[in-house]
A and B are shown apart, each in its own frame.
Chain A
């Protein structure tokens, strides 16, 4: 039937090398919740053996985090993320997507609403030379407007057009990839020059639509332009101990992992933590749509972060920041989740980071 692009679907050689990389397979040990198994389900859809209403097919389209950890380990170069987008388009064609996803994708697609949000939350603004511009992600604009203001101070020359819409990543990942593509194109027209983003998810989606050369995530941009961080982050009279949580889409989609580490290491003691490269369970709207599974993914990661004895865990994506921040607060951890931009600004003597909480008497999991 060719529901899927055969060029993409035929790539998979069923070797199974993706299995150990997949966080949901790690939870279940069931082939059906592995990338190879899901591709088998897609093939069954393609040949009509199963249809989109099959309960397992629907469940797996939703259960997958979309973290793309399977892509870097795939010998055959399967572009799983793109297959997943097509799959979700099929699953949700002609029926109501989950309310949360609908709400978010509707709100973020309306530029005037985003501008209004900008007035309230006051993200960065300012006109610089049009060779590069800062993208104000819509989730970040609402939840963490300080991040873009931090970037504005780290990169004083950058243009920040106030009129900018959503990149459409949320739409592409939630069963509406056509809308996701339109929004990305529109944003590409609104932002001059190289688009610098503070969100791994947005960066990966924009790069897919606008081309890799148009888009740089913050750490990538700083390293590429030789913008060396200055100063250091200190906690209680010593250099801060900092863990890094990769953004899945940044690491697996765009191959950016060394740059944020280099920047963190320049201003603090970078502490490697097991599992730092795997999904935190935020996964776009996943933590809202499947909170139970999201926490099953997050909990071992928080255990590892706490065991590493760090002061901060740095993220490069607003969804991950929100996920880790909430998780750490929930268990009253002393560790704080912060965005890379805020860490660098603190090191440079700008706005100070929130101090690590004093350790609770007993490690509570409230």
Chain B
């Protein structure tokens, strides 16, 4: 399609010629993100440095009616950063300044392209914790985390990214630069546009700067693992833990297939005879952590755990966490196409949902292994097939359609932390209903009258 020489020249005038690329070889690397099976090449890639440059690019795009897709590291799993309608990919990886980390106000202010790990490190250097910790934190950007409302392993106790965003600077497609929220925990003046932008997946505005809340760094962390005969037993233990008023930082599960794959891959000495394992961890003062882990161990044993092991030290603790962290690498080595999905059900129905997933997988003749966050009902069914077996890929695709339907039928949802993107847009109305989807479209139109910002995603 191409953008036309006028627009390219105008873009170059805004950000500098070296930060606008339109050659085929320059566009190709931006034709995919981390989502398997989805492609979409842009007509131009543009790297702005400031909010003002972003605003100028968006004004041009609105005037010319050209789609703009904001992109950070492109690590999302929902095809949210693909230019599947062509146009401009607006890459924010030059905006990497950490503007402030304030230990008195307990907040940090960063540009959108800062990686989550860099933010966490800058906070840790001042004895502070940035709580959200998505698995992709070394690569994913804070802007992307806010846009998708990313979660992570500490979600049970600390919640998701949404709970930490105090304010944003966002550029609207029409070119206005707005500041939402600010530096305050308590701030209720007006519609909560900060929350609206959080999780808006680059469809309402381009986030250029974000202020996040930090916490004091917990004194210590501890980890343990419990093996169960079945996932149903593990589920009952989780219910018992929460019911006892214990909210640990981490409560993760692997099903039997994941345990097998992880053990084959990493040889961590996991029990292969277990039907499921729960990995639990907490942070805080020494005595609180020790008491929490003991209580979870006790409750697990009471609910049929085959074995409970508490890590004596950090090294042992890291070895246990490795079991959860390497679930993806272990599974991905079973084939060449790895589809890692994301659905959430009410916590007490987790085991039932995994059972449903197993049935669905059998019905479609694919293998789906499931791991995830037992504490908040967020699970990651993962299917691995041969990249060149198109029939198997199609079967997997259909199976996941059924998985999302099953989640919705259980009062769950189609994504807990990865976002909707283009990949799950077909399922969105099943979750929200026609009236709410129509409202989403009206909101989208209010922000983006020309409909240029990340079309084909939320609000389309």
Q: Interface of A with B (CB < 8 Å)?
A: 6, 10-11, 13-17, 19-20, 29-32, 34, 36-38, 40-41, 44, 49-50, 54-57, 73, 75-77
* Chain A residue contacts of B34, Cβ below 8 A: 13-16
Known contacts A14-B33, A14-B34, A16-B75, A44 near B28 by CB under 8 Å: yes
B329 sits at the interface (CB 8 A): yes
Partner of A10, one of B94, B136, B329, B336: B336
* Chain A residue contacts of B332, Cβ below 8 A: 13, 75-76
Q: Interface of B with A (CB < 8 Å)?
A: 23-26, 28-36, 45, 47, 73-75, 91, 93-94, 96, 113, 115, 117, 136, 138-139, 326, 328-329, 332-333, 336, 338, 387-388
Q: Are A20 and B26 in contact (CB under 8 A)?
A: no
Q: A38 CA to B24 CA in the complex, in Å?
A: 14
Q: Are A55 and B138 in contact (CB under 8 A)?
A: no
In the complex, what residue of chain B is closest to A19 when comparing beta carbons?
Answer: B139
Main secondary structure on A side of the interface with B: loop
Q: Are A29 and B328 in contact (CB under 8 A)?
A: no
In the complex, what residue of chain B is closest to A56 when comparing beta carbons?
Answer: B25
Name the distance in Å between B117's Cβ and chain A's nearest Cβ.
Answer: 7
Known contacts A16-B73, A41-B29, A56-B25, A11 near B336 by CB under 8 Å: yes
Q: Are B31 and A75 in contact (CB under 8 A)?
A: no
Q: Are A31 and B139 in contact (CB under 8 A)?
A: no
Q: Are B329 and A31 in contact (CB under 8 A)?
A: no
Q: Are A37 and B29 in contact (CB under 8 A)?
A: yes
Q: Which of A15, A34, A40 counts the most B-chain CB atoms under 10 A from its CB?
A: A15
Q: A287 CA to B279 CA in the complex, in Å?
A: 47
Q: Count A-B contacts at CB 8 Å.
A: 96
Partner of B25, one of A15, A17, A41: A41
Main secondary structure on B side of the interface with A: loop
Q: A49 CA to B333 CA in the complex, in Å?
A: 27
Partner of B47, one of A17, A29, A38: A29
* Chain A residue contacts of B328, Cβ below 8 A: 15, 75
Q: Are B387 and A10 in contact (CB under 8 A)?
A: yes
* Chain A residue contacts of B35, Cβ below 8 A: 14
Q: Are B28 and A20 in contact (CB under 8 A)?
A: no
Name the distance in Å between A326's Cβ and chain B's nearest Cβ.
Answer: 29
* Chain A residue contacts of B329, Cβ below 8 A: 75-77
* Chain A residue contacts of B26, Cβ below 8 A: 32, 56
Q: A32 CA to B21 CA in the complex, in Å?
A: 11
Q: A11 CA to B335 CA in the complex, in Å?
A: 8
In the complex, what residue of chain A is closest to B117 when comparing beta carbons?
Answer: A20
Name the distance in Å between B28's Cβ and chain A's nearest Cβ.
Answer: 5
Partner of A40, one of B28, B73, B91, B96: B28
23 A-B pairs (CB sep. < 8 Å):
A10-B336, A10-B388, A14-B35, A16-B74, A19-B139, A20-B115, A29-B91, A29-B93, A29-B94, A30-B47, A30-B91, A32-B26, A32-B29, A38-B29, A41-B25, A54-B25, A55-B23, A55-B25, A56-B24, A75-B326, A75-B332, A76-B329, A76-B333
